[in-house]
């Protein structure tokens, strides 16, 4: 019976990144994916003829350029196109736009507040400083602060030195930044509600917290530390939808000799004498591997794929308590023409950016209140993009694909599982909100896919549909991600590794967890990592 050098459970972006690096190190790697396609939450699917849907993740910034280069992803078709800005529509028929041009951006803010317009530079400076602190940590394994191994001590010293390199003021700001609410953080710079709402959205996306919850300032940072070709903080569309990322990864993997089996759902990890020996598929087929890497989230991996008796109690308890709460959904729409927003000039670049309708911090927090009460938000927060304004490959000319990320959607509705009727009600709250700002919107809809946490968990496998495989709060970051003592991609079981977004540095289509996990695995195998670029310098 063949034993693979490594079996990767799940063909999401991190699983594929991990598999690519292992295969390129000379290992014989098999990726098993339960769906009939790869991609996990980074997919492009033709759900109605002629339209490609980025039906889960929908924009790209965090994916590390070092990985794109190492794995030759441009050669396999990956292109990322920066988009143009965006806007928050206001209830009085106006909007607040974000423009790429620095001075246009200032003038736009000045329409609402001259003071806030001039406060933006200081805000941008402070956020940039924080990004520069965290960026170099993304592509390094977090040190174990309880370990006395020279490597951990070295990494701790690196972290300490970086921290000590900050001024007293920056140090205080960093500690506050990592723990405070996005609302409190923005209050230090801005006075205008719509301007605060405009920035706060990055602090709550994918998170079961409201803008007034402590910890949300860091979530904003997580959305700012990416880049599009060196332009830090910029976001773009993957040409061909987010599936272009995983399509390129899969092609790169196969080109280097890797094997992918789709339609192969893992039932459990084969464990013998405390060591992972392979996987057992849902049909009972056993596949042997010298090691197993799970791209699934930490709960799915250790509460579903591994028998509890194989794991230490404290580890299990922490995994159970790991916060990976469902908070969002997706409404993906095929449109037969570009929607019109009367508030927006027809030639506005905002059509080519991200659009929002939540124009106050209070509305955002109220939307969260609904989540706490176990309901989807009656007045939801939307992050809406129309990638086809820049990407001609996703819909026929003149027709459009629209992606609406929707918050908040609870994992259960009033304590019961989502029903189809709930799903339709959730979709209606979204369509009604858009239609309020875009008359005739309903008539343009050709096809629509609605994904509540139920659908996302069922298809993608993310527990509760949590897009980050676990919330990005300070207690679940760095050497505490996913749980203390197991932040270095290894698990209590010998031969079983984690490579998903549940691990450092967390979620978003970043690829860093998959890459870092590969580096640890290769270290354990005493293999070279010379094919892995170190993080680009932050100078």
Chain residues that interact with other proteins, rule: CB under 8 A? 93-95, 97, 99, 101-104, 106-108, 111, 114-119, 121-122, 125, 128-129, 132, 165-167, 169-170, 189, 345, 347-349
Compute the least distance from the CB of residue 85 to other proteins, in Å: 9
Query: Smallest gap, in angstroms, from Cβ of residue 125 to other proteins?
Result: 6
Which one, 106 or 366, has the nearer CB to other proteins? 106
Question: b or e along 416-429 (b: 16 or more beta carbons within 10 Å of the residue's beta carbon)?
Answer: eebeeebbebbbeb
CB 467 within 8 A of CB 206: yes
Among the listed residues 505, 201, 509, the one whose alpha carbon sits nearest the alpha carbon of residue 382: 201
Give least dist CB 158 to other proteins, A: 18
Q: Please count the other Cβ atoms lying within 10 Å of the Cβ belonging to residue 432.
A: 14
Rounded Cα distance, 300 and 294, in Å: 9
Compare residues 169 and 537 and give the one whose CB is closer to other proteins.
169
| Residue closer to other proteins (CB basis): 59 or 350 | 350
Helix (H) or strand (E) holding 173: helix 168-179
In terms of Cβ atoms closer than 10 Å to its own Cβ (0-12, 13-18, 19+), residue 42 is: buried
Contact at 8 Å (CB) between 489 and 6?
no
Can you tell me the distance from the alpha carbon of 198 to that of 183, in angstroms, rounded to the nearest whole number? 11
> Least Å distance between CB 186 and other proteins?
13
Burial 235-261 (b: 16+ CB within 10 A, else e): bbbbbbbbbbbbbbbbbbbeebebebe
Question: By the 8 A CB rule, do 122 and 185 touch?
Answer: no
Please tell me the distance from the alpha carbon of residue 232 to that of residue 74, in angstroms, as a whole number: 20
Rounded to whole angstroms, the Cα distance separating 80 from 404 reads 20
Nearer to other proteins among residue 168 and residue 421 (C-beta) = 168
Tokens of 512: 């860093």
**Between 166 and 431, whose beta carbon lies closer to other proteins?**
166
- What's the rounded Cα separation, in Å, for the pair 329 and 352? 22
Give 96's Cβ-side CA count (13 Å radius).
24
Find out whether 223 and 202 touch, Cβ atoms under 8 Å: yes
Which CB sits closer to other proteins, 97 or 460?
A: 97
* Residue placing its CB nearer to other proteins in the complex, 9 or 127: 127
**CB of 189 or CB of 368, closer to other proteins:** 189
Looking at beta carbons only, is 132 or 447 nearer to other proteins? Answer: 132
User: Which residue's CB is nearer to other proteins, number 191 or number 286?
Assistant: 191
Pairing of strands 275-281, 266-272: antiparallel
Residues with Cβ within 8 Å of 154's Cβ and at least 6 positions away in sequence, in order, are 143
CB of 142 to other proteins, least distance (A): 24
Minimum Å gap between C-beta 119 and other proteins is 4
Measured over all CA atoms, what is the biggest interatomic distance in the chain, rounded to whole angstroms? 72
Q: How far is the CB of 250 from other proteins (least distance, A)?
A: 38
CB of 156 to other proteins, least distance (A): 22
- Nearest-approach distance from CB 161 to other proteins, in angstroms: 14
Name the DSSP class of 349.
Answer: G
| Residue-by-residue DSSP string for 396-457 | -TT-EEEEEEEE---SSBTTB---HHHHHHHHHHHHHHHHHHSTTHHHHEEEEEEE-HHHHH
* Nearer residue to other proteins within complex by CB, 165 or 257: 165
Q: Looking at beta carbons only, is 169 or 313 nearer to other proteins?
A: 169
Q: How far is the CB of 170 from other proteins (least distance, A)?
A: 6
Q: What minimum distance in Å lies between the beta carbon of 107 and other proteins?
A: 5
> What is the DSSP code string of 82-129?
E--EEEEE-TTS-EEEEESSHHHHHHHHHTT-HHHHHHHHHHHHHHHH
Q: Is 158 exposed, middle or buried (0-12, 13-18, 19+ CB in 10 A)?
A: middle
Residue 172 Cβ vs other proteins, minimum distance, rounded to whole Å = 12
């Amino acid at each position: 019976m063949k034993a693979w050098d490594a079996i990767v459970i799940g063909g999401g972006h991190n699983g594929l990144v991990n598999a690519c690096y292992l295969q390129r190190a000379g290992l014989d790697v098999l990726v098993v994916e339960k769906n009939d396609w790869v991609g996990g939450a980074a997919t492009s699917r033709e759900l109605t003829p002629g339209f490609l849907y980025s039906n889960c993740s929908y924009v790209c910034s965090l994916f590390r350029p070092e990985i794109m280069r190492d794995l030759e992803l441009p050669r396999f078709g990956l292109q990322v196109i920066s988009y143009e800005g965006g806007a928050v529509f206001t209830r009085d028929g106006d909007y607040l736009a974000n423009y790429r041009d620095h001075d246009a951006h200032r003038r736009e803010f000045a329409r609402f507040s001259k003071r806030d317009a001039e406060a933006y530079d200081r805000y941008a400076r402070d956020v940039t400083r924080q990004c520069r602190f965290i960026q170099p940590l993304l592509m390094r394994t977090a040190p174990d602060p309880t370990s006395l191994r020279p490597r951990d001590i070295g990494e701790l010293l690196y972290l300490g030195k970086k921290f000590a390199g900050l001024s007293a003021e920056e140090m205080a700001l960093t500690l506050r930044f990592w723990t405070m609410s996005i609302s409190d953080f923005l209050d230090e710079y801005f006075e205008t509600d719509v301007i605060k709402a405009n920035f706060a959205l990055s602090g709550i996306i994918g998170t079961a917290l409201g803008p007034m919850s402590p910890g949300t300032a860091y979530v904003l940072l997580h959305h700012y530390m990416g880049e599009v070709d060196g332009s830090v903080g910029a976001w773009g569309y993957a040409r061909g939808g987010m599936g272009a990322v995983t399509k390129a990864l899969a092609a790169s993997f196969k080109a280097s000799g890797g094997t992918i089996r789709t339609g192969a759902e893992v039932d459990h990890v084969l464990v013998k004498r405390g060591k992972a020996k392979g996987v057992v598929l849902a049909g009972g087929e056993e596949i042997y591997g010298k090691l197993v890497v799970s791209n699934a989230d930490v709960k799915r991996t250790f509460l579903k794929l591994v028998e509890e008796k194989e794991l230490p109690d404290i580890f299990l308890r922490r995994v159970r308590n790991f916060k990976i709460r469902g908070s969002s959904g997706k409404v993906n729409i095929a449109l037969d023409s570009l929607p019109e927003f009367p508030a927006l000039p027809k030639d506005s670049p905002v059509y080519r950016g991200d659009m929002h309708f939540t124009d106050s911090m209070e509305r955002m927090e109220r939307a969260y209140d609904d989540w706490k009460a176990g309901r989807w938000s009656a007045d939801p927060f939307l992050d809406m993009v129309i990638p086809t304004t820049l990407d001609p490959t996703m819909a026929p000319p003149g027709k459009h694909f629209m992606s609406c990320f929707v918050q908040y959607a609870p994992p259960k509705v009033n304590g019961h599982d989502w029903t189809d009727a709930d799903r339709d009600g959730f979709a209606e709250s979204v369509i009604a909100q858009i239609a309020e700002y875009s008359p005739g919107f309903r008539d343009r809809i050709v096809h629509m896919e609605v994904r509540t946490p139920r659908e996302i968990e069922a298809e993608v496998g993310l527990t509760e549909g949590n897009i980050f495989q676990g919330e990005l709060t300070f207690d679940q970051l760095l050497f505490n991600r996913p749980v203390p003592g197991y932040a270095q991609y290894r698990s209590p079981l010998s031969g079983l590794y984690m490579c998903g977004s549940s691990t450092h540095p967390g979620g978003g289509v970043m690829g860093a967890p998959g890459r870092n996990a590969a580096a640890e695995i290769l270290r354990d195998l005493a293999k070279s990592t010379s094919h892995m670029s170190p993080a680009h310098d932050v100078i």
